[in-house]
Amino acid sequence: MLGADQQARLQVSYRITANGTPALNLHDGGADRLRIAVSHLAGNGADVKVTITTAVGVSVATARAHTRLTDFRFLDFTGPGGQDFTHTSHIIVEFTSNGSLAVDSIEVRGPFRLPQLMRWDPRTEESGKLAVHAALLHTGQIVFFSGDEHDPGRHFLGRTVPKHIDSTRIYDCSSGAVLAMASPQVPPGSTPPDLFCCGHAFLPNGRLLVAGGTESWALRQEDPDPDLGHHHKNQHFTGLRYTWVFDPEAPFGANPWTRVADMKDGRWYPTLRAVP
């Protein structure tokens, strides 16, 4: 709370990562902007001064905040020395009021595109699996699994012997390692559990319920097959009736997949949602 002719100052600092990469990048394709949102502003208006310090200098911008204003406009800055703000070390926001002023909180945001924060980097070697489905487990790992990957040799097509589809892997978030994991199995002669386009949701005990998937996909009985590997050319998929539970804390060496009651009808691309 500020009285007459008082000033408040807020400094927001940003860390530099171990490899020297700045934790905040305010460069936005040539337009360097900063948005300041104030949740509550009472009394008279206030002058706002924003100072941004970077590796090459200091940039300053000012604006006028009026009573009951809850969201400032975008302030356009010119980077110090004509440079952008890719090495921002800290931001200082100063409020000066000639009357009473109350500011409950302040949020400082850069533009929507922050390359240093949203950069995609490879975290591990190629897993060899198409991660159609993935779920973050309470163990700090990610289970991901795919399906037949449009390979007719891996699925039942009416003229191909069904084969086991090994498509389950675990990604360890702390080490970056990809671990091989057993996949669902069914008795010999049954349709293999192709989990491509299944649905899944977490149970209260942290296990993952997985239902449905792909039972078969259309293949034109011609030679050569012009539509080989294209799921939607002739007809819709047929869905699986299978339902499984994945246990992230299964004993080492044990299959973490447990088959539970089958559904009455097959489901392809179903949506699962836990209810209270």
Report the distance separating Cα 146 and Cα 134, nearest Å.
9
* Residue 251 neighbours by CB under 8 Å, 6+ apart: none
What is the 8-class DSSP label of residue 117? H
Domains along the chain? 6-118 (2.60.290), 122-276 (no CATH)
Tell me which H or E stretch contains 75.
strand 75-76
pLDDT score, position 260: 94
> What's the chain's Rg over C-alpha atoms?
28
Report the distance separating Cα 225 and Cα 73, nearest Å.
59
Give residue-wise pLDDT tens across range 46-81: 777 777 777 777 777 777 766 544 444 444 455 555
Query: What are the residue ranges in the chain where pLDDT is below 70?
Result: 1-45, 65-89, 97-127, 147-164, 188-192, 216-237
**What are the strands of the beta sheet with 178-180, ordered from one edge?**
133-136, 141-145, 168-172, 178-180
Residue 41 near residue 67, CB atoms below 8 Å: yes
Report the distance separating Cα 37 and Cα 109, nearest Å.
8
pLDDT score, position 113: 43
Report the distance separating Cα 252 and Cα 238, nearest Å.
34
Give the tokens for residue 242.
Answer: 């299978």
Letter string b/e over residues 80-117, b meaning 16 or more CB atoms within 10 A of that residue's CB: beebbbbbbbebbbbbbbeeebebeebeeebbeebebe
pLDDT score, position 148: 58
